[in-house]
């Protein structure tokens, strides 16, 4: 009972913190992390002990899966080269550079442990970076690169951590062994993710009940990660590949009702998991600080050096990765040369989060390490501190940096024009289908459907104009919402007076809610 109460309290606090952040225009992970740290000093707040299996199996897979579902697969493929350069090349480079620096600072610590710390702090987070990137209006290709990097770099980092931990147990490994293991596990993860995604797609195609669709979708990332772990492949890559495949196929697999319901379910799951995980990071910081055995001067010095080196390595890697590839004629002919501001903003968008948390918790105790001389408490603290520093320093300054460098993209007109052109073609196809099947239908029904099709097409063109006057579609939405409010009121009064049952009210309410939600999406 006590654990249930604690869970409910944590979820409630995370919801309140997210609401507070949205109201003030702050980034929710920042608010929740700082709020968790503050709460940890409040008397009566229980200590939090996160298990690595909970993060790796219970929290990370659904977060990665929903991020992959929402990723544009076409744009992802086009940006695959820079994504892989960051997700694989930069993570491996950061791991070894941090390993060398840590080994120089702490010569008595095994080099494998230092590399493990480098791999732990190397991967940026999928949640915080893309949330900030979308909010500040970064160009879509930059957002795609950040999304793709944060989806795939987790696999490189976690595999590297596992190999480094194996080396701590006495298994000798080198650079090429690590690189080969990363490639092998990632390759198996890709195949496994595709196979399981095809199986999930087969189920979705044959399911007609939206609730069953939701259940299959919720189970998919957990099934994928469990099977991948059993086969000792990259569970992260498998989950991401499954999410990318199913996200691209969803329009062909699900009914309209299933899509609407599933979208709402995943938004809720994502919202709750994101909030709780960053709150837990803040809550655990106090215990880490109090239990650390390394002297404070060494702890602060090591933490700051790791942070500075981590940021510097990302900058050093980003510029050659952006510009040297354009020496190749094919790439130079097909890709514009971005201004220097683009790699600068991408280099600064390196906030850490869930994966760093999960990987840090997997570090073995000193007793399990050959030689036994290994400050696990220091390493875990450094990992948590890097999460805090990157979220606070980089997360809070990234919007100002992007504005200062002029890295933004307003695609509203371009999107409206593309939507209007496609909607015009879609309306023409709808009218042709209507005429082909209109035989025997009442004329009033056919006329009403023609008018609806024309209204949708005209509404898309209206959004192209930035008129000060209210457009016909906007006026329709405003007036129809007033009418829906009046209809709801009548139905509620009828229910209260006993003239209709609760079931009748719920059915009418659902129809009105669906129509109003459509009006809201049209306004957006």
For 271-317, the pLDDT digits (tens) are 888 888 888 888 887 777 777 877 888 889 999 999 999 999 999 99
pLDDT at 520: 57
Phi-psi region of 250 (alpha: psi -120 to 50; beta: other; left: phi over 0): alpha
* pLDDT average, residue stretch 413-437: 73
What pLDDT does 450 receive?
79
- At residue 415 the predicted structure's pLDDT band, cuts being 50, 70 and 90, is low
Domain boundaries, the chain: 2-409, 411-466, 478-524
Check whether 467 has a pLDDT greater than 60: no
67 close to 147: Cβ distance less than 8 angstroms: yes
The answer to whether the CB of 322 falls within 8 A of the CB of 342 is: yes
**Is residue 408 a contact partner of residue 136, using CB atoms and an 8 Å limit?**
yes
What pLDDT score does 13 carry? 86
For residue range 160-178, what is the model confidence (pLDDT) as tens digits?
A: 888 888 777 765 555 566 6
Q: How confident is the model at residue 14 (pLDDT cuts 50, 70, 90)?
A: confident
Q: What is the pLDDT of residues 476-503, one digit of tens each?
A: 778 888 888 898 889 889 888 888 888 8
The tens digit of pLDDT for each residue in 439-449 reads 777 877 777 77
User: For residue 464, is pLDDT > 70?
Assistant: no
Question: Domain 2-409 carries which CATH code?
Answer: 1.20.1530.20
* DSSP line for 267-336: HHHHHHHHHHHHHHHHHHHHHHHHH--S-HHHHHHHHHHHHHHHHHHHHHHHHHHHHGGGGSHHHHHHS-
pLDDT digits (tens, 9 = 90+) for 341-353: 889 999 998 888 8
DSSP calls for 403-419: HHHT-----HHHHHHHH
| Residues 344 and 155 sit within 8 Å (Cβ to Cβ) | no
Categorize the per-residue pLDDT at 153 as very low, low, confident or very high, splitting at 50, 70 and 90. Answer: confident
- CA distances, 503 to each of 180, 498, 508 (Å): 61, 12, 9
Residue located via tokens 């702090």:
121
Asked if 21 contacts 30 with a C-beta cutoff of 8 angstroms, the reply is yes
**pLDDT computed for residue 307 by the predictor:** 95
Mean pLDDT of the chain: 82
Q: Span 392-403, mean pLDDT? A: 85
Q: Is the pLDDT of residue 243 over 90?
A: yes
Of 245 and 419, more confident = 245
Whole-angstrom distance, CA of residue 213 vs CA of residue 200: 10
What would the pLDDT profile of 502-518 be if each residue is shown by its tens digit?
Answer: 888 888 888 888 878 77
Report, as an integer, the average pLDDT of 28-44.
81
pLDDT of residue 162: 82
The residue to which tokens 């298994």 are assigned:
171
pLDDT band at 127 (very low <50, low <70, confident <90, very high): low
- Max intra-chain CA distance, the chain: 87
- Say what the pLDDT of residue 309 is: 95
């Amino acid at each position: 009972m006590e654990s249930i109460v604690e869970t409910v309290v944590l979820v409630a606090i995370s919801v309140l913190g997210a609401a507070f952040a949205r109201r003030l225009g702050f980034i929710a992970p920042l608010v929740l992390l700082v709020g968790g740290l503050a709460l940890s000093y409040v008397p009566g707040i229980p200590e939090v002990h996160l298990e690595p299996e909970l993060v790796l199996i219970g929290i990370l897979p659904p977060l990665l899966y929903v991020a992959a579902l929402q990723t544009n697969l076409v744009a992802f493929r086009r940006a695959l080269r820079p994504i892989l350069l960051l997700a694989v090349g930069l993570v491996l480079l950061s791991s070894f550079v941090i390993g060398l620096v840590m080994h120089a600072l702490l010569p008595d610590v095994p080099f494998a442990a230092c590399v493990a710390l480098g791999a732990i702090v190397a991967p940026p987070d999928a949640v915080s970076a893309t949330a900030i990137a979308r909010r500040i209006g970064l160009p879509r290709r930059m957002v795609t690169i950040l999304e793709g990097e944060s989806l795939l770099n987790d696999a490189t980092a976690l595999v590297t951590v596992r190999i480094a931990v194996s080396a701590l147990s006495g298994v000798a490994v080198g650079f090429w062994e690590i690189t080969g293991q990363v490639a092998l596990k990632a390759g198996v993860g890709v195949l496994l993710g595709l196979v399981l995604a095809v199986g999930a797609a087969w189920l979705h195609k044959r399911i007609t009940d939206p609730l069953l669709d939701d259940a299959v979708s919720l189970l998919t990332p957990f099934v994928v990660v469990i099977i991948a772990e059993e086969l000792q492949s990259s569970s992260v890559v498998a989950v991401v590949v499954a999410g990318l495949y199913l996200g691209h196929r969803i329009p062909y697999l699900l009914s309209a009702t299933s899509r609407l319901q599933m979208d709402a379910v995943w938004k809720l799951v994502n919202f709750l998991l994101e909030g709780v995980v960053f709150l837990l990071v803040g809550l655990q910081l106090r215990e880490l600080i109090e239990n650390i055995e390394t002297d404070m001067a060494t702890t602060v010095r090591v933490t700051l050096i790791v942070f500075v080196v981590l940021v510097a390595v990302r900058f050093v890697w980003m510029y050659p990765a952006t510009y040297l590839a354009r020496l190749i004629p094919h790439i130079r002919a097909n890709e514009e040369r971005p201004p220097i501001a683009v790699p600068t903003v991408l280099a600064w968008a390196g906030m850490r989060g869930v994966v760093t948390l999960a990987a840090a918790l997997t570090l073995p105790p000193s007793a399990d390490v050959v030689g036994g001389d290994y400050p696990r408490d220091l390493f875990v603290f450094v990992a948590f501190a890097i999460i805090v520093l990157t979220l606070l320093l980089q997360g809070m300054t990234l919007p100002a940096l992007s504005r200062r460098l002029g890295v933004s993209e307003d695609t509203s007109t371009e999107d409206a024009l593309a939507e209007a052109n496609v909607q015009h073609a879609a309306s023409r196809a709808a009218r042709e289908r209507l005429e082909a099947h209109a035989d025997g239908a009442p004329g009033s029904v056919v006329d009403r459907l023609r008018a609806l099709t024309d209204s949708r097409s005209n509404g898309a063109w209206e959004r192209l104009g930035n008129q000060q006057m209210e457009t016909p579609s906007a006026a329709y939405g405003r007036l129809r919402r007033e009418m829906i409010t009046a209809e709801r009121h009548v139905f509620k009064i009828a229910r209260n007076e006993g003239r209709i049952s609760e079931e009748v009210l719920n059915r009418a309410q659902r129809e009105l809610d669906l129509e109003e939600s459509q009006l809201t999406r049209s306004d957006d």
